[in-house]
Amino acid sequence: MEDGETNKDVEVAPALIAVQPNQRSVAVAVGADLRVFNLHAGSAASLVDESGSSFHKDFIRAIRFGAKGKLFVSSGDDKIVKIWSVEYWRCICTVSSEKRVTAVAISNDGSYVCFADKFGVVWVVDLTGYDGNQPLVNKKATPLLSHYCSIITSLEFSLDGQFIVSADRDFKIRVTVFPSNPINGAHEIQSFCLGHTEFVSCVAFVQAQDYPHGLLISGSGDSTVRLWDIVSGALLDTCEVATKAGLLESNNDKSEERDHAVTDLCTILDGLLIAVAIQSFQGIVLLKCNPATRTLSVSKLVSIEGGAFVPTSLGNGASTGILWMVTGVSNLPGSSCPSFARVRAISGFDVEQEPTVVEHDKIPGGEQLLENLQGSASVDDAVFLAAAEAVKTAMCNLLIKKQYPAENRESKKRTRNDKKFKL
Amino acid sequence: MPETEVNPTISKSTGLPRKRFYRARAHSNPLSDSHFPVPISPSHVDHSLHYPQYFPSSGQADSCKRIQFADIGCGFGGLLLSLSTLFPETLMIGMELRDKVTEYVKERILALRAANPGQYQNISVVRTNSMKYIPNYFEKGQLSKMFFLFPDPHFKEKNHRRRVISPHLLDEYAYALQVGGIIYTITDVEELGDWMKSCLENHPLFEALSKEELEADPVVQLLSSATEEGQKVARNEGQTFQAVFRRIASSDQTS
Ligand SMILES: C[S@@+](CC[C@H](N)C(=O)[O-])C[C@H]1O[C@@H](n2cnc3c(N)ncnc32)[C@H](O)[C@@H]1O
């Protein structure tokens, strides 16, 4: 009955990517594996975790760098939240969660780590005053807010840190005042951004004059990206990305829409451009946000030739002009490969240039990076194709609710023992 | 001459719907996903369906009237009927999870409207899970009163999160209530009464009404007498436990 407590046999988790704000390192999570490549040193970072030998024991569902690039958080199905000091890639704090973790965020000043669990509760870990040297033991999370039994897909702080935004699978985006003492909970809801007609998969902020908090953008299973004013919750613009990008006929039916769900988005050059990953599209759609007119428009499509590269996650080092992408899954049923991940990058977003997919041999970090983040420098085409299906399944599992067949539901009802009428 | 349609679910003698045709199971699990339409946002709530006299044409409301009272888990609707005549110009809605019960309340209101022209135009009911969809129905600060009368107790510790009053859900109720708005709760289960009271006491956006304020509020008397559940408790001479709190402004200086 629990939302999202799914059958492990068919469970696959999509690969994730995160890029340090100054682009010193790139992290990829696939299955329970966390891989970090230090671009500066040109080598794999070795992760140090004194609390135990294996870092994560089950699928990682969320990874994230802090805005200052000093902290990194990883978490997922093993109900363990790991907070890393990026400088030496040391795990400084391990916090346990009662339930599996679905999303994480770090407050802009690095004082608080927030994570959302399968019951829709967001928890906060207090790191105020922490100097980054000693490991923190016995840290406990306290509840911050809750989406009633809806799985939270994305957590994000507003640009000025005043609000925390949480998006869920029930089409809802909640904007909550992040209080001066979050340990007592965040009780003041600023707004709800309502308008999506399917699960919300991802949110991000873009800078805009007159909006110190930033303007919020969100992607959804309804194949749209929307622009919001979080103070009022007003919907400013809706961009039918799949239709506008020519991926979808405008009078589509619902099933096709599902195939063009927006699965991730990522701002580039402080929000001048927004990269959008769409289910079934081999490439990304670039959107432009015009803060003055408060509109979104499709700027261009960048497709990725060769293989079936549908990104499962996007990452960008804030102001840098490189977009990192990963496609992959935790496990490939019936294959000799335990997991699968492939990394690509797109460069040249600066206004005069054309964004282009970087060739394998030109990727920053080169072969070592691919070797490290993918698990191997080159990937067999047959495996790649086999993975494409699994990628699709992984994204569907993650975002779309399990629908019990109607029959099944009826039989469940029949076996209930509390049907007797009482008043 | 065409035969007049006979609706067997309506009692011939009283013209009111018969309860036995609207039997339903006693408790619904508010955590399981049900399948009923949910408005995308409060602006998508079609008022003309609920209050045709106030909103004659369908489509978005340009009338400035908004729903101000919400009876959460309204059951068979007794409170709405009492409030309807006490506040004839205030729009109010009952929210109820059980389908059959909701249908019963609908029929009940329609029958009363037919029998009393011009009256009972200000009340209506929707089938929904209030624990999930309050923000889809009400804008921030829209409500001036919210009612939680005799909610399901959910005794087991692990089921406490199914209770309609909880620290987290109070955040949403505080959002829907305007500053100064009032939340009314009552139960015959002492443990639940203590729970609801302590949730409210510990919430930074609510404060208790004083004794004088409680005495001056005509609605308070209805809490134990107006609903079907309340009447049942009264018949059995059961004790009741109420908690009535006001929505206050936040004191956290964030800007
Ligand atoms: C014990 S009855 C009380 C009914 C009414 N308030 C009275 O006093 O007679 C509780 C009601 O709340 C309804 N309910 C429980 N959970 C609900 C939810 N999440 N949303 C809406 N209604 C709910 C139940 O279906 C039931 O009718």
Closest CA to A305 of A384, A406, A212: A384
Report residue B250 as tokens: 């936040």
Q: Note the pLDDT of residue A412.
A: 43
Cβ contacts below 8 Å, chain A against chain B, sum to: 96
Sheet containing B241-247: which strands, arranged edge to edge?
B123-127, B91-96, B67-72, B143-149, B177-187, B241-247, B206-208
Q: Determine if ligand 1 sits within 6 Å of the CB of residue B151.
A: yes
Specify burial of residue B157 (Cβ count, 10 A radius: 0-12, 13-18, 19+).
exposed
Q: Which residues does B contribute to its contact with A (CB < 8 Å)?
A: 19, 23-27, 29, 31-33, 40-42, 75-76, 131-132, 135-136, 140, 161, 167-172, 174-175, 203-205, 228-229, 232, 250, 252-255
Task: Select, from the ranges A361-370, A382-391, B67-76, the one with the highest average predicted confidence (pLDDT).
Answer: B67-76
Mean pLDDT of A326-352: 82
Nearest alpha carbon, ligand 1 atom 4? B75
Q: Give dist(CA A270, CA A419) in Å, integer.
A: 56
Query: Tens of pLDDT along A21-53?
Result: 888 899 999 999 999 999 999 999 999 887 765
Q: Note the pLDDT of residue A52.
A: 66
Q: Is the dihedral of CA B176, B179, B185, B191 positive or negative?
A: positive
Place of tokens 């006490």: B86
Q: Is the dihedral of CA A351, A247, A4, A196 positive or negative?
A: positive
Mean pLDDT of A227-241: 97
Nearest alpha carbon, ligand 1 atom 15? B73
> In a mutational test of the pocket of ligand 1, which residue from B22, B25, B36, B74 has the highest number of ligand atoms less than 8 Å from its CB?
B74
Is residue A321 very low, low, confident or very high in pLDDT (cuts 50, 70, 90)? confident
Report residue B132 as tokens: 């999930």
Q: Note the pLDDT of residue A301.
A: 92
Catalytic residue among B152, B171, B188, B252: B152
> Is the CB of A148 less than 8 angstroms away from the CB of B169?
yes
Closest CA to B112 of B15, B19, B184, B221: B15
Nearest alpha carbon, ligand 1 atom 13? B73
- Least CB-CB distance to B25: which of A2, A233, A416? A416
Q: Note the pLDDT of residue A414.
A: 42
Helical residues (DSSP H) of A182-247, grouped into ranges: 241-244
Which domains can be identified in chain B, with CATH numbers?
Answer: 60-254 (3.40.50.150)
Query: Tens of pLDDT along A185-213?
Result: 999 999 999 999 999 999 999 999 889 99
- Least CB-CB distance to B40: which of A145, A185, A194? A194
Closest CA to A392 of A10, A3, A78: A10
DSSP string, B57-85: S-SS--S---EEEEEET-TT-HHHHHHHH
Q: What is the pLDDT along chain B (255 residues), one digit of tens a residue?
A: 333 444 445 555 556 565 544 444 444 444 445 578 899 999 999 999 999 999 987 655 556 799 999 999 999 999 999 999 999 999 999 999 999 999 999 999 999 999 999 999 999 999 999 999 999 999 999 999 999 999 999 988 888 888 999 999 999 999 999 999 999 999 999 999 999 999 999 999 999 999 999 999 999 999 999 999 999 999 999 999 999 999 999 986 544
Is residue A350 very low, low, confident or very high in pLDDT (cuts 50, 70, 90)? confident
The ipTM is 0.88
**Choice among A175-189, A282-296, A344-358 with the minimum mean pLDDT:** A344-358
> Is the CB of B161 less than 8 angstroms away from the CB of A119?
yes
- Least CB-CB distance to A194: which of B136, B161, B171? B136
Mean pLDDT of A276-305: 92
Chain B hits for A233, CB-CB cut-off 8 Å, are: 140
Q: Note the pLDDT of residue A251.
A: 54
Ligand 1 center to A138 CA (angstroms): 41
Q: Note the pLDDT of residue B2.
A: 39
> Is the CB of A191 less than 8 angstroms away from the CB of B253?
no
Bigger pLDDT: B149 vs A378 = B149
Q: Give dist(CA A266, CA A319) in Å, integer.
A: 12
Bigger pLDDT: B161 vs A3 = B161
Chain B hits for A143, CB-CB cut-off 8 Å, are: 167-168
Closest CA to B247 of B171, B194, B186, B196: B171
Q: Note the pLDDT of residue B230.
A: 93
Q: Note the pLDDT of residue A149.
A: 81
Q: Given a cut of 60, is residue A237 above it in pLDDT?
A: yes
Mean pLDDT of A311-339: 82
**Choice among A101-115, A289-303, A330-344, A359-373 with the minimum mean pLDDT:** A330-344
> Which value, in Å, is the radius of gyration of the alpha carbons in chain A?
21
> In a mutational test of the pocket of ligand 1, which residue from B19, B69, B72, B127 has the highest number of ligand atoms less than 8 Å from its CB?
B72
Q: Residue A212: which residues within 8 A CB-CB, separation 6 or more?
A: A159, A160
Is residue A405 very low, low, confident or very high in pLDDT (cuts 50, 70, 90)? very low
Q: Given a cut of 60, is residue A154 above it in pLDDT?
A: yes
Which domains can be identified in chain A, with CATH numbers?
Answer: 19-402 (2.130.10.10)
Is residue A73 very low, low, confident or very high in pLDDT (cuts 50, 70, 90)? very high
Classify residue A280 as left (phi > 0), alpha (psi -120 to 50) or beta. Answer: left
Using N-to-C axis directions, what is the helix angle for B167-176 and B130-137, rounded to 10°? Answer: 20
Closest CA to B151 of B86, B223, B220, B68: B223
> Is the CB of B135 less than 8 angstroms away from the CB of A187?
no
Chain A hits for B167, CB-CB cut-off 8 Å, are: 143, 185
Distance from the Cα of B144 to chain A's closest Cα (Å) equals 17
Q: Are B180 and B222 in contact (CB under 8 A)?
A: no
| A window 130-159, beta carbon within 8 A of B | 143, 145-146, 148-150
CA–CA distances in Å: residue B22 to residues A107, A394, B5, B73, B255 = 51, 43, 20, 16, 52
A234 touches chain B (CB under 8 A): no
Q: Note the pLDDT of residue B116.
A: 96
- Residue A153 phi/psi, 5° resolution? -100, -25
Percent over 70 (pLDDT), chain A: 86
Using N-to-C axis directions, what is the helix angle for B190-201 and B167-176, rounded to 10°? Answer: 60
**Choice among A118-122, A220-224, A250-254, A358-362 with the minimum mean pLDDT:** A250-254
Bigger pLDDT: A68 vs A404 = A68
Q: For residue B71, indicate whether it is catalytic.
A: no
> Is the CB of B205 less than 8 angstroms away from the CB of A188?
yes
Is residue A216 very low, low, confident or very high in pLDDT (cuts 50, 70, 90)? very high
**Choice among A108-112, A258-262, B103-107, B184-188 with the minimum mean pLDDT:** A258-262
Q: Note the pLDDT of residue B254.
A: 46
Report residue A53 as tokens: 């030998």
Instruction: Give strand pairing partners of A82.
Output: A74, A94
Ligand 1 center to B150 CA (angstroms): 8
Task: Select, from the ranges A240-244, A352-356, A387-391, B219-223, the one with the highest average predicted confidence (pLDDT).
Answer: B219-223
Q: Determine if ligand 1 sits within 6 Å of the CB of residue B105.
A: no
> Is the CB of B132 less than 8 angstroms away from the CB of A170?
yes
Bigger pLDDT: A131 vs B94 = B94
